[in-house]
A and B are shown apart, each in its own frame.
Chain A
Amino acid sequence: MNQPNTLTRIEDPAMAEIQPQQAQPTFSATEPAPEGHRTVGKITVDNPKMSARDVNVYYGEKHAIKHVELDIGTNEVIALIGPSGCGKSTFLRTLNRMNDTIDICRVTGNISLDGQDIYDRRLDVVQLRARVGMVFQKPNPFPKSIFDNVAYGPKIHGMTSSRAELEDLVRWSLEKAGLWHEVKDRLEQPGTGLSGGQQQRLCIARAIAVSPEVILMDEPCSALDPIATAKIEELIDELRENYSIVIVTHSMQQAARVSQRTAYFHLGDLIEVGETEQIFTNPEHKLTEGYITGRFG
């Protein structure tokens, strides 16, 4: 990152005109990588939890994800970064088949969870989504009490057999999400009455309550203030002990702070994957470098 450099460039109009000519990139931010691009870096891991092979996603005619191959490791946080509209959310949503709810969306290729194909007809998407939970960009608690928000998933899946058991599970989930102490005295109040950061942790608790193995997070902090963001980042770090986490983020600092691996997407292509450290200090691909250094995106 060379933040100061970026700033001087904006402040100095003369420089702004010269700069693009000096650093003429081989790739442009608005053009896709050449046809048949192969992802740079190591897409596999030793103990994969999920793996995607030759995944394509189409919205009608639009080819939104192109031949993506990527492993998601057990107990790792992997960050998906890239400019807006490059298909991060789309890829994330293929991992728990949330794209099924979009009529015009078509997915090809192979995605497996613990070696089992999740697009297999025999697989029940209800079960899949219990195993692969999701947290959204904007906190979306149900207009129900805090307790009922967390109890929603367990009730649907019939996970508990008594009220006491359910209460224990709700408490456990809220504790895991670091929210218990803030809400334990007002479990009956509506979840929508919490602050933005609390709502997002409530949504995480809600996802944890159905004991998933993977948690997908789509820009979970983009609607939050810095303090709430710091709390969530801390939480993600703790959750890594028990879950695999895929997080989409717009903040490169955030990716650097919470993830072990980072994948850079560009207009539907997965350009480069690698250790987070390496991606941010020594990217191999020109496009990755362009994005990381803030030249575009």
Chain B
Amino acid sequence: MNLSVVLTAVLGLAALAYHFGRRRAFAVVSGRVRDLHSLPSYYGMHTALWCGVPALIVMSLWLAFEPSIMTNLVVERLPEAMRHVPESQLNLVINDIRNAVNGTMTGNDPAIREAADYYLQLRTVSHAAMAVVLFALCAAGGSWAWKRIAPDFRARNRVEKSMSVLLILCSMVAVFTTIGIVLSVLFESLRFFQQIPLTDFLFGLEWSPQTAMRADQVGASGAFGMIPLLTGTLLVSGIAMLVAVPLGLMSALYLSEYAPSRVRTFGKPLLEVLAGIPTVVYGFFAAITVAPFLRDLGASVGLQVASESALAAGAVMGIMIIPFVSSLSDDVINAVPQAMRDGSYALGATKSETIKNVVLPAALPGIVGSVLLAISRAIGETMIVVMAAGLSAKLTANPLEAVTTVTVQIVTLLVGDQEFDSPKTLAAFALGLVLFLITLVLNIIALHVVRKYREQYE
């Protein structure tokens, strides 16, 4: 039986269970709902949950274990010659069988054809069995819950409880995914550090991740010093912040303090549109428009500007980050109580004096927090720098030269065919770990600062 049909049927049964549960709830008090502990719909939901949830759990477990069990069964039936081979070759065979099952077979080995047919046959049986088991479970669970419906049965409390369990499960997904990602990055990085010493990585001044495949290969230095990448990242992010902080802060001040409400209602969303532009668009804007413009401008005043410069990437990244700074700052500026401004105006202070002496100092922690969040965003930004900052890992502080960043190098290390155990590939994980730690620390500080600030006014 088709899986989606089974799933729909289970859900349909749950819906039926809801209906019957509700009806019985009405029936047991002969329509006087006030005699029930909970509203009738809660009894319906309780019945539906008992009908649907166990079946769904069994279904997902079944589907999780089905392929490996069936593969084992299929392999046992393979001809002797195919079965007693090294593991890697056996995997190839299994792969072939899978392909045959999915109808994308390339070869035409009769043994494999036969194995695939057997697999399909097993699967049909398995699904049929599963459907029977599931429907039985639905019926059993649903009717058990249905029987328990009585005026003083606390259905509401049970439904509420299962709701909280559901919410906990959902939040667990996010938490465990994060933990999983961090752990996998961590372990891959540890493998990297077994090959390349940690100190070389952290303090090395040269980045040239071309490892030799053969001993006699030329031009493969294999240097993994991340300092040039770090300086490149800081240079580009620094330029971005030089653009974003003044522009973002000033526009936030204008919008929250000076703009008439009509301008504000239009201006704020308009500014936030900047955040909605895909970064790849910013990227080619930087590479195709801004970088050549800066190069020509430099040439006209006798400056040598690389056609992929840190300046171009940083400036465009700064534009992208403006809405982060402005909308967060706008929030914190608005959070400064009006009473504070009134106090200042009532002493005869002008608007700009009030902003300078009262509003900004009061909002400062929040503004600092928003800037920190923006920095961590800038450090992690990839697309713009991939397209506009270049690949040369030069240790330089000159914004007119091409630089490369941590994120760009991660991309280039992993693009294309890779061996997943060469230092070159593993270096990407180490870089990722560094990036993660930097942004994590920045975010923690920023959140801490922002929270401190909130407490001040609550």
Q: Which A positions have Cβ atoms within 8 angstroms of B?
A: 96, 98, 101, 103, 125-130, 133-134, 136, 138, 140-144, 152-153, 156-157, 203, 206-207, 210
Q: Residues of A contacting B339 with CB < 8 Å?
A: 136, 138, 140
Contact among A127, A129, A143 for B346, CB-based, below 8 A: A129
- CB of B347 within 8 A of CB of A206, answer yes
- CB of A129 within 8 A of CB of B345, answer yes
A133 touching B345 in the complex, CB below 8 Å, given contacts A140-B340, A142-B358, A152-B357: no
For chain B, residues 213 to 230, give those with C-beta under 8 angstroms from any C-beta of chain A: none
For chain B, residues 305 to 351, give those with C-beta under 8 angstroms from any C-beta of chain A: 337, 339-350
* Chain B residue with Cβ nearest A101: B345
A133 touching B347 in the complex, CB below 8 Å, given contacts A143-B456, A144-B361: yes
Contact among B343, B353, B357, B361 for A203, CB-based, below 8 A: B343
- Give complex CA distance A128, B353 in Å: 16
Q: Which 3 A-B pairs have the closest CB atoms?
A: A129-B348, A134-B346, A140-B339
- CB of A156 within 8 A of CB of B260, answer no
- CB of A142 within 8 A of CB of B340, answer yes
For chain B, residues 347 to 393, give those with C-beta under 8 angstroms from any C-beta of chain A: 347-350, 353, 357-358, 361-362
Closest Cβ of chain A to B78, distance in Å, is 78
Q: Residues of B contacting A127 with CB < 8 Å?
A: 348
Which range contains the number of B residues in contact with the other chain? 20 to 34
Closest Cβ of chain A to B133, distance in Å, is 66
Q: Residues of A contacting B361 with CB < 8 Å?
A: 143-144
Q: Residues of B contacting A153 with CB < 8 Å?
A: 347-349
- CB of A143 within 8 A of CB of B347, answer no
16 further A-B contacts with Cβ under 8 Å, apart from A126-B350, A206-B343, are A98-B345, A128-B348, A129-B345, A129-B347, A133-B347, A136-B343, A140-B339, A142-B343, A142-B344, A143-B340, A152-B357, A153-B347, A153-B349, A156-B347, A156-B348, A157-B348
Quick check: is B261 within 8 A (CB to CB) of the other chain?
Answer: yes
- CB of A130 within 8 A of CB of B348, answer yes
- CB of B261 within 8 A of CB of A103, answer yes
Can you report 29 A-B residue pairs in the complex whose CB atoms are below 8 A from each other? A98-B342, A98-B346, A101-B342, A103-B261, A125-B348, A127-B348, A128-B348, A134-B346, A136-B343, A136-B346, A138-B339, A140-B337, A140-B339, A140-B342, A140-B343, A143-B340, A143-B362, A143-B456, A144-B361, A152-B344, A152-B357, A153-B347, A156-B348, A156-B349, A156-B357, A157-B348, A203-B343, A210-B347, A210-B348
Closest Cβ of chain B to A164, distance in Å, is 22
Q: Residues of B contacting A133 with CB < 8 Å?
A: 346-347
- Give complex CA distance A150, B349 in Å: 13
Closest Cβ of chain B to A210, distance in Å, is 6
- Give complex CA distance A156, B351 in Å: 12
Closest Cβ of chain B to A248, distance in Å, is 14
Q: Residues of B contacting A125 with CB < 8 Å?
A: 348
Contact among B342, B347, B350, B456 for A152, CB-based, below 8 A: B347
- CB of A207 within 8 A of CB of B346, answer yes
- Give complex CA distance A128, B347 in Å: 9
* Chain A residue with Cβ nearest B358: A142
Q: Residues of B contacting A129 with CB < 8 Å?
A: 345-348
Q: Residues of B contacting A134 with CB < 8 Å?
A: 342, 346
Q: Residues of A contacting B357 with CB < 8 Å?
A: 142, 152, 156
Closest Cβ of chain B to A212, distance in Å, is 9
Q: Residues of B contacting A142 with CB < 8 Å?
A: 340, 343-344, 357-358, 362
* Chain B residue with Cβ nearest A97: B345
* Chain A residue with Cβ nearest B353: A156
- Give complex CA distance A130, B348 in Å: 5
Closest Cβ of chain B to A215, distance in Å, is 10
* Chain B residue with Cβ nearest A137: B339
- Give complex CA distance A126, B349 in Å: 6
Q: Residues of A contacting B340 with CB < 8 Å?
A: 140, 142-143
User: Which of A96, A98, A129 lies at the interface centre, i.e. has the most chain B CB atoms within 10 A of its CB?
Assistant: A129
Q: Residues of A contacting B343 with CB < 8 Å?
A: 136, 140-142, 203, 206
- Give complex CA distance A125, B347 in Å: 10
Closest Cβ of chain A to B339, distance in Å, is 4
- Give complex CA distance A125, B341 in Å: 15
Q: Residues of A contacting B353 with CB < 8 Å?
A: 156
Q: Residues of A contacting B348 with CB < 8 Å?
A: 125-130, 153, 156-157, 210
* Chain A residue with Cβ nearest B364: A143
User: Which of B341, B343, B456 lies at the interface centre, i.e. has the most chain A CB atoms within 10 A of its CB?
Assistant: B343
* Chain B residue with Cβ nearest A132: B346
Q: Residues of A contacting B349 with CB < 8 Å?
A: 126, 152-153, 156
* Chain B residue with Cβ nearest A142: B358
- Give complex CA distance A144, B346 in Å: 17
- Give complex CA distance A153, B354 in Å: 11
User: Which of B339, B348, B358 lies at the interface centre, i.e. has the most chain A CB atoms within 10 A of its CB?
Assistant: B348
* Chain B residue with Cβ nearest A155: B357
Closest Cβ of chain B to A29, distance in Å, is 29
- Give complex CA distance A157, B349 in Å: 8
* Chain A residue with Cβ nearest B347: A153
- Give complex CA distance A125, B351 in Å: 12
Q: Residues of B contacting A207 with CB < 8 Å?
A: 346-347
Closest Cβ of chain B to A52, distance in Å, is 19
Closest Cβ of chain A to B129, distance in Å, is 70
Q: Residues of B contacting A143 with CB < 8 Å?
A: 340, 361-362, 456
Closest Cβ of chain B to A211, distance in Å, is 11
Q: Residues of A contacting B456 with CB < 8 Å?
A: 143
Q: Residues of B contacting A140 with CB < 8 Å?
A: 337, 339-340, 342-343
Closest Cβ of chain A to B450, distance in Å, is 16
Q: Residues of A contacting B341 with CB < 8 Å?
A: 101
- Give complex CA distance A96, B346 in Å: 8
- Give complex CA distance A207, B339 in Å: 15
* Chain B residue with Cβ nearest A144: B361
Q: Residues of A contacting B362 with CB < 8 Å?
A: 142-143
- Give complex CA distance A207, B348 in Å: 10
Q: Residues of B contacting A136 with CB < 8 Å?
A: 339, 342-343, 346
Closest Cβ of chain B to A183, distance in Å, is 18
- Give complex CA distance A127, B350 in Å: 11
Q: Residues of B contacting A203 with CB < 8 Å?
A: 343
